[in-house]
Chain A
Amino acid sequence: MTDPTAVTERATLLSVDDLVVEHRTPGRPLVRAVAGASLSVAEGEVVGLVGESGCGKSTLARAVCGLNPVTSGSITFGGHPVTPLGLRRRNPALSGIQMVFQDPYSSLNPRRRVGAQIADGLRTGRDTTSSPADLLERVGLPRDFAGRHPHEFSGGQRQRIAIARALAARPSLLIGDEPISALDASAQAQVARLMRDLAVSSGAGLLFISHDLSVVRLIADRIAVMYLGKIVEVGRTEEVWNDPRHPYTRALLGAIPAPDGAGVLPAELPGDVPDPAAPPPGCRFHPRCPVAMDVCREREPDFGPVACWLHEPA
């Protein structure tokens, strides 16, 4: 079976198969943050993963880095299974996955000069020719910032430094876990584009996680839409943007305000994301879906690329 939306000419770099990640908290019900999600990223490809808060996109990203234990399913990176990161050193075969985190204020060690932190990345990437200042230059910062401490920088600058450190390790897959959501609007698109350009020019794949579809559209080759632990739609960016098929994707797109001066308020999606500890039966989206049918209440659509009974493959 071939996935019509996969970029076939490039080799698969990361493949996530039917991944389930559960959060156990003593005394509270088991939460299935990721409930059978499948996703692939090809070499040099930029994939945007979007969804509301709490839909499990960050958990998915953390699992890909080995930061969350996997309940079932598999994650394979460049032919190696991704193993959980315990107390041992990370498997060097997996250091090709590097991550840029959400909070710029806790993503850098406040006690160390940024040059030293970028140098850690260079050591991981066995890069003996570049200097931390070169990396700073690549992310558009002055070379002499290497001698300064993180508290001297703004959120956007810190995020650039975090990107420089991740790139210094010469990753083949860069993951951005909502790397722009803590930045102000003017810096968001800049930083997102920077991440894309640097990943593409170094030949690395990029998995960019965001709740902001309008930014993801600018940088992604493909978009995956996640809802309550499942990928509900995957497709090329222009297809998803121009012709969204899953009702949830439509609702997400409808919620983007249009700066056309017409003063039309964005459509609102009624209801809240259900509790992932007790997902609704059948299709997970049916309680909020404007076009829900009987079959949606009974059976879960576990097919792709659009997990909706309206788009069941023949």
Chain B
Amino acid sequence: MKLPQAWRQPLAIVGGVVAVAWLVIAVAAPLLAPHDPLAQDLPRLAPPGPGHWFGTDQLGRDILSRVMYGARLSIPLTLLLVALSVLVGGLLGACAGYFGKWADETIMRFADLVFAFPTVILAMVVAAALGASLANAVLAVLVVAWPAYARVTRGLVLGVREREFVISGRLLGFSAWRSLRVDVLPNITGPILVLATLDIGTALLLLSGLSFLGLGAKPPSPEWGAMVASGVEVFDSWWVATFPGLAILTVVLAFNFLGDTLRDALDPRTARAIKERAL
């Protein structure tokens, strides 16, 4: 099998392999994990070594198993979060761009309102107001993440809605919704897909950031952000915070690499540059 040129990049391959590896770990965690992630039956704060390769935490739980089970929390929730942001932001942005006038003004002023606050602070405020739980953290990140999609979608819709095939459809009697669904949206999915892929990393960081601050996952659930937070309490035992932190780092990097590659693959201008340095 031959990969397209844009995907034959070192970063693309690394990103793809790491992302697939994490997905496999998330799916097969019960088979792969050597211990029960919640059982407190190992020596406390044991450094990495045989039997517990990532060490144990202050309650005697195996960190390797907890990191593996953490993938089952963080990765699906992040994907769900990004999917919801694309849906909400994309729909609102498409309405703003297509219908214009008051719909545009209302939706985009709300988006500007959200943009006016620092992302993390606003997410913290929303999460704190809703109460600390992982579901509420997802909701809070959704509140701060949709405007980016709304803005991009609106701009793309504005560019496509005056194209001649869209006008032809309207002349044939398409309703505005049908025109949007049939002629406009299918022609702007590429850039939104790129944005979404690049955003997976940011969303994961924000989500585990909220858990780190105690506004997301509750103990004892093996959420990576919460695990880093518990590791901060025992700074001498470096392994407690380091391994969940590395998990976050690798997932974020992998999806950023994938997003970059996707963008290059879909953008004909950079595609030429890639060809010159392809493997």
Q: Is the CB of B171 within 8 A of A95?
A: yes
Q: Is the CB of A106 within 8 A of B163?
A: yes
Mask: chain B, 168-180; 1 = CB below 8 Å from A; 0 = not: 1111111110000
Q: Is the CB of B176 within 8 A of A109?
A: no
Nearest CB of chain B from residue A182's CB, rounded to whole Å: 11
Q: Is the CB of A99 within 8 A of B187?
A: no
Q: Is the CB of A107 within 8 A of B174?
A: no
Q: Is the CB of B187 within 8 A of A124?
A: no
Closest to A91 in B: B173
Kindly state the separation between the CA atoms of A99 and B167 in the bound complex, as whole angstroms.
Answer: 9
- Which A152-195 residues sit within 8 Å CB-CB of chain B? 162, 165-166, 169
Q: Which of A1-9, A82-90, A282-290 contacts B (4 or more CB under 8 A)?
A: A82-90
Which residues of the partner chain A approach B167 to less than 8 Å between Cβ atoms? 67, 99, 101
Kindly state the separation between the CA atoms of A121 and B168 in the bound complex, as whole angstroms.
Answer: 10
Nearest CB of chain B from residue A149's CB, rounded to whole Å: 12
Interface residues on B, range: 10 to 19
Q: A89-B174, A90-B173, A111-B187 are in contact. Are A103 and B164 (CB under 8 A)?
A: yes
Q: Is the CB of A87 within 8 A of B168?
A: no
B182: Cβ under 8 A from any A Cβ: yes
Q: Is the CB of A87 within 8 A of B176?
A: yes
Which residues of the partner chain A approach B171 to less than 8 Å between Cβ atoms? 65, 85, 90, 95, 97-99
- Which A68-112 residues sit within 8 Å CB-CB of chain B? 85, 87-90, 92, 95, 97-99, 101-103, 106-112
Kindly state the separation between the CA atoms of A166 and B166 in the bound complex, as whole angstroms.
Answer: 13
Q: Is the CB of B182 within 8 A of A89?
A: no
A120: Cβ under 8 A from any B Cβ: yes
B99: Cβ under 8 A from any A Cβ: yes
Q: Is the CB of B99 within 8 A of A87?
A: yes
SS class, residues of chain B in contact with chain A? helix
Q: Is the CB of B169 within 8 A of A120?
A: yes
Which residues of the partner chain B approach A121 to less than 8 Å between Cβ atoms? 172
Q: A109-B182, A110-B187, A111-B187 are in contact. Are A120 and B172 (CB under 8 A)?
A: yes
Q: Is the CB of B164 within 8 A of A95?
A: no
Nearest CB of chain B from residue A135's CB, rounded to whole Å: 13
Q: A109-B183, A109-B187 are in contact. Are A162 and B173 (CB under 8 A)?
A: no
Q: A87-B99, A101-B164 are in contact. Are A111 and B176 (CB under 8 A)?
A: no
Q: Is the CB of B164 within 8 A of A106?
A: yes
> How many chain A residues have a CB neighbour from B under 8 Å?
31
Kindly state the separation between the CA atoms of A117 and B166 in the bound complex, as whole angstroms.
Answer: 11
Q: Is the CB of B173 within 8 A of A95?
A: yes
Which residues of the partner chain A approach B183 to less than 8 Å between Cβ atoms? 109
B186: Cβ under 8 A from any A Cβ: yes
Q: Is the CB of B165 within 8 A of A107?
A: yes
Q: Is the CB of A107 within 8 A of B172?
A: no
Kindly state the separation between the CA atoms of A121 and B171 in the bound complex, as whole angstroms.
Answer: 10
Which residues of the partner chain B approach A85 to less than 8 Å between Cβ atoms? 170-171
Which residues of the partner chain B approach A99 to less than 8 Å between Cβ atoms? 167-168, 171
Q: Is the CB of A101 within 8 A of B168?
A: yes
- Which B141-195 residues sit within 8 Å CB-CB of chain A? 163-176, 182-183, 186-187
Kindly state the separation between the CA atoms of A124 and B171 in the bound complex, as whole angstroms.
Answer: 9
Nearest CB of chain A from residue B126's CB, rounded to whole Å: 33
Nearest CB of chain A from residue B100's CB, rounded to whole Å: 8
Closest to B172 in A: A124
Which residues of the partner chain B approach A107 to less than 8 Å between Cβ atoms? 164-165, 168
Kindly state the separation between the CA atoms of A45 and B173 in the bound complex, as whole angstroms.
Answer: 25
Which residues of the partner chain B approach A92 to less than 8 Å between Cβ atoms? 173
Q: What are 8 A-B contacts defined by CB distance under 8 Å?
A: A65-B171, A101-B167, A102-B164, A107-B164, A107-B165, A121-B172, A123-B172, A166-B168
Which residues of A are interface residues toward B (Cβ below 8 A)? 65, 67, 85, 87-90, 92, 95, 97-99, 101-103, 106-112, 117, 120-121, 123-124, 162, 165-166, 169
- Give 15 new A-B contacts, CB below 8 A, not counting A90-B171, A95-B171: A87-B99, A88-B176, A89-B174, A90-B170, A92-B173, A97-B171, A101-B164, A101-B167, A106-B165, A109-B165, A112-B182, A112-B186, A120-B169, A121-B172, A162-B168
**Top 10 closest A-B pairs, CB basis?**
A101-B164, A111-B186, A107-B164, A124-B172, A109-B165, A106-B164, A87-B176, A89-B175, A106-B163, A124-B173
